Amino acid sequence: MASEQPQKIAILSVYDKTGLLDLAKGLVKQNIRLLASGGTAKLIREAGFPVEDVSAITKAPEMLSGRVKTLHPAVHAGILARDLASDEKDLAEQKIDKVEYVVCNLYPFKDTVAKINVTMPEAVEEIDIGGVTLIRAAAKNHTRVTILSDPEDYHDFVQSLEKGGVTEKQRQQYALKAFTHTADYDTAIADFFRKKYAGEGDQQLALRYGANPHQKPASAYFSGAPLPFKVLCGAPGYINLLDALNAWPLVRELSLALHYPAAASFKHVSPAGAAIGVPLSDVEAKVYMVDDIEGLKESGLAQAYARARGADRMSSFGDMVALSHEVDVPTAKIISREVSDGVIAPGYKPEALEILSKKKGGKYLILQMDPLYIPPTQEVRTLYGVSLTQHRNDATISPTSTFNTIRVPKDSPPLPESALRDLTVATIALKYTQSNSVCYALNGQVIGLGAGQQSRIHCTRLAGDKTDNWWMRFHERTLGISWKKGARRADKSNAIDLLTSGIVPAAGPEREAWEQNFAEVPTPFTAEERRAWLDKLSEVAVSSDAFFPFTDNVFRVGRSGVKYLAAPTGSQNDQACMDVAAELGITFVEQHTRLFHH
């Protein structure tokens, strides 16, 4: 005669008792032995269902006001035991029975800490220990044990029992939900303690507000270690950090790839300018309004920032600065007189730090970045309550390996070093620019960038128009402007932009306001004068973060002195775009990595 199968065991310990009695009824109907703790056992017993206290198998009473109830080998060995001879032997020696079902949910920590003026002792008492251990143990051993952590699952579970048992697929889904439940619970606890202990270990940084002033509270935190940067002066905002933490890796990569100091001027999570410290000519120094900076020629970092800031002064107004090297005095002097929100760098010379600390009445944001910090390979972002995860964009852009596939012209010799340098600058800049994006570069700097446009041609036009404006600033008429005494740098930049863009108002209040900037009003450029000067621009490199879908993009870059074009392929019009490039005398380089950034 076959031996009788041992009675299956379910352990129940729930805070949320929704649906508990219907579940208990279904379990009893299947002749499952119920073991429960505390209030769970009390409710089931009062409803008339057979239930035993967990102490029936632990042989130990609940203690410490309920803090210790299920933390015992008799419970967890029964849950964690596998269908292995060695495990069966251990259970038999200790007279422990296997547990097939665990029903558990946790104390309402989130609800407790959401209350006004909750105290630390109140919060601590809502940190579940035994429940989390039950859930994790059962979920770990889900190949044999069923874990129910959500009352919504009780009905389908009971129906499955009545039909013959829980399937492997169900156990997998219940385990996934259980791990998610404990992970969310631990995150809530960690977040609470970060807020309480902000500043201790620099794991959490309170921000002024989020993207907008009404979005409060806001914070930045880093799990398990101090933040990779220090705040030396000022108070960061949410967008400041978005800019800083996009700009820093850009300049770090530029410097590593090209072996120059690098700088970036960031606005709204895209670079307004980026550059390496290629020596400035006297004319460039004048165009970028830094020709009076003492020590400029001896500082590669200062020249890099002069290029980054000077390329598009309108967009750089109120920027977040990123610098690859220790900030020296010439660089600090340039920053000190511009309208800027903050700077991030690996270090500061004492005198440079003193100069910057006086900016904005002592409120200028100064961040010191750990140059050795390497971010995790996996990125997580929460959007509308949904968590998205992806592998970090760790694609390497290198002048020696990224631009080797020359598609047009055929049998082309290797690119000159200047072209490789400028394509590298443009392409690394795109890696940290809101897509769609197209970037023009020359002399080791971004000279025109189109960011965040929905169509590729609008990116190309926007970047090309900025490139044209940049080049028009080198025209002798622009260089020879006679400014009215006391004209501010921002007003000069705006006045120059109207002049070089060819959009000076013909008459009216705006024309009068424009003319008030000058001691001698310059003559606006005619369309013919602009075209004649723009035709002198050459050797420009352009890079695109994805393929050019139509030939209009190639025609547009050709009007702004582009000689070298790098883009991924994959469009049906690849060959047509290459044919146009050949017709215009543009070298088309296939760049094999798409670089969307959002």
pLDDT tens digits, 276-324: 999 999 999 999 999 999 999 999 999 999 999 999 999 999 999 999 9
- Would you state the pLDDT for residue 400? 93
Spatial distance between the Cα atoms of 247 and 268, rounded to a whole number of angstroms: 11
Q: Are 216 and 170 in contact, with CB atoms under 8 Å apart? A: no
In angstroms, rounded to a whole number, what is the distance separating the alpha carbons of residues 59 and 579?
A: 84
Q: How far apart are the first and last CA of the chain?
A: 69
pLDDT confidence of residue 196:
74
The alpha carbon of 92 is separated from its chain's Cα centroid by a whole number of angstroms, namely 53
Is residue 127 within 8 A of residue 68, CB to CB? The reply is: no
pLDDT band at 2, cuts 50/70/90? very low
pLDDT bracket for residue 1 (50, 70, 90): very low
pLDDT in tens, 19-62: 999 999 999 999 999 999 888 999 999 999 999 988 888 787 77
Per-residue tokens: 374? 């390497």
Does domain 9-196 bear CATH number 3.40.50.1380?
A: yes
The pLDDT, as a whole number, for residue 191 is 79
Residues of the chain with CATH 3.40.140.20: 234-369, 395-475+525-591
pLDDT of residue 64: 77
CATH of 234-369, one of 3.90.1200.10, 3.40.140.20, 3.30.70.1450, 3.30.413.10: 3.40.140.20
What is the spatial distance between Cα 543 and Cα 520, in angstroms, rounded to a whole number? 39
Mean pLDDT calculated for residue range 187-203: 70
Of 52-56, 104-108, 272-276, 382-386, the range with the highest mean pLDDT is 272-276
Give mean pLDDT, residues 99-122.
Answer: 84
Catalytic: 360? no
The pair of three-digit structure tokens given for residue 277, joined into one six-digit string: 């410290």
Mean pLDDT, range 189-199, rounded to an integer:
73
pLDDT of 203 above 50: yes
pLDDT value, residue 4: 59
Predicted local distance difference test score (pLDDT) of residue 198: 58
Q: What is the pLDDT of residue 3?
A: 46
Catalytic-residue membership of 391: no
> What distance in Å separates the CA atoms of residue 147 and residue 169, rounded to the nearest whole number?
13
Take residue 33 and report the two structure tokens written for it: 């032995």
- pLDDT(77) > 90: no
3-class state of residue 273 by DSSP: strand
Residue 116 has pLDDT above 90, yes or no: no
Identify the band that residue 467 occupies on the pLDDT scale cut at 50, 70 and 90: very high
Provide mean pLDDT across the span 149-164.
92
Q: What is the pLDDT of residue 451?
A: 96
Answer whether residue 585 shows pLDDT above 70: yes
Residues in the chain, total? 598
Average pLDDT on 530-537 reads: 97
Answer whether residue 407 shows pLDDT above 90. yes
Tell me what pLDDT residue 474 has. Answer: 98
Write out the DSSP string of 484-549: PTT--HHHHHHHHHHHHHT---SSSHHHHHHHTTEEEPPPPPPHHHHHHHHTT---EEEEESS---
Pair 597, 435: CB distance under 8 Å? yes
| Predicted local distance difference test score (pLDDT) of residue 187 | 83
Long-range CB pairs of 208-215 (<8 Å, 24+ gap) are 208/235, 208/236, 208/237, 208/238, 209/237, 209/238, 210/238, 211/238, 211/239
User: What is the CATH superfamily name and number for domain 395-475+525-591?
Assistant: AICAR transformylase, duplication domain (3.40.140.20)
CA angle, residues 535, 539, 545, in degrees to nearest 5: 110
pLDDT at 224 over 70: no
Which residue among the candidates 110, 140, 297, 458 is catalytic per the annotation?
Answer: 140
H/E segment holding residue 529: helix 527-534
pLDDT value at residue 367: 98
Tell me: pLDDT of 507 over 90. Answer: yes
Q: What is the mean pLDDT of residues 455-477?
A: 98
Report how far residue 130's alpha carbon sits from residue 68's, in angstroms, rounded to the nearest whole number: 7
* Ranges in the chain annotated CATH 3.40.50.1380: 9-196
Which one is catalytic: 268, 286, 492, 597?
Answer: 268
Q: Whose CA is closest to 312, among 188, 468, 115, 190?
A: 468
For CA atoms 305, 311, 317, 318, the dihedral sign is: negative
Element (H, E) at 283: helix 282-287
Would the pLDDT of 89 be above 60? yes
Helix ranges (DSSP H) in 337-372: 350-357
The reported pLDDT for the residue numbered 531 is 96
Residue labelled with tokens 């025109």: 448
456-484 mean pLDDT: 97
DSSP annotation of 69: S
> What's the whole-number average pLDDT of the chain?
92
Mean local confidence (pLDDT), 516-520: 96
Give residue 406's pLDDT band: very low, low, confident or very high (50, 70, 90): very high
